[in-house]
Amino acid sequence: MILVVLEHDGARLRKGALEAVTRARQLSALGAVSGVVIGENLGAVAEEARRYVSTVYVAEVGAYTAEKWAAAAYAAAQKAAAKVVIATGGRQSRSWSAKLAYKLGAALLEDTLETSTDGSRVVATRYSFLNRVTEKQAAGLPVVITAKPNTTPLAEPQGEGGVESLSVELPAPQVEVLERVVEQKKGVSLTEATVVVTGGRGLGSPEAFAGVEQLADLLGGAVGATRAVVDAGWRPYSEQVGQTGKTVQPGAYIALAVSGAVQHQAGMNKSKYIVAVNKDAEAPIFKIADYGIVGDVHQVLPALLEAAKKLKD
């Protein structure tokens, strides 16, 4: 049996969960696909999830902690007799997946780009060295796998599976959550966006991001920022793209006044199309861009906005 830990926002499954289901189906030679949803008030999420897997285990364990999620995923894996557990890659899964692998005595394959089986083992590919090298790994069963976001097609519904409540023996909390502040953000999530418009320090001021936001809105995308911009306090850390921020892989990545240091490239260089605007013709971003405009962003951005408005109309 294969178990998918289905990430959600409390109301519906996230895009990454449907990617993880696709990964599980690709390994169907190892067994049927079940899933587990973890958290609180999970009725609506469980109803959606049952359209994608044979059985949905519902673990009502309250607000997130790594210990709770590892315990719930372990209980679901035991219940399903799963030898393979798959989850969406990211900061949250990174905090509990190693704990789960330890509990299961399993191998851990993190941030995989694709997975397959050669019969007795799972074979996976992943990036290393700032996304510049692709390496292949193999692990025997049991195994815990995390799937790098935006690397796998989304699963389509397949019938209606069953729903079972799951009893979870929760460990004594090692960390007490005193307060949880959830950022209220409009529009599409940065990691799930098909278009990302990122502004760099070359924009000159936080006020210049109004044009970045407008272009992202016209294109149905999300706003990104470089580390220098975030460090300057112009934009929130949640928008940071790069080695120390988020990794994105949209269909189109528009870099405005972004120099494109290797640390930034690590978070976006696998985008399908990269469009760069920079006044420095020698900027590193042009080495990976599909389309480049050498010019003053304050002159180019208004022209891009006009073109986007016409496209939308």
Annotated binding site for FAD: 201, 226-227, 240-244, 278
Please provide residue 198's backbone torsions phi and psi, each rounded to the nearest 5 degrees. Answer: -110, 135
CA-CA distance, 204 to 131, in Å (whole number)? 29
The answer to whether 255 and 289 are in contact (CB under 8 A) is: yes
Please provide residue 312's backbone torsions phi and psi, each rounded to the nearest 5 degrees. Answer: -70, -35
Q: Verify cis geometry, omega within 30 degrees of 0, for the bond prior to 142.
A: yes
The answer to whether 260 and 283 are in contact (CB under 8 A) is: yes
Structure tokens at 252: 């189109």
What 3-state class would DSSP assign to 189?
A: coil
Task: Walk across the sheet containing 55-60 and list its strands.
Answer: 133-140, 121-128, 107-117, 143-147, 84-88, 2-5, 33-39, 55-60, 162-165
Binding residues: 201, 226-227, 240-244, 278
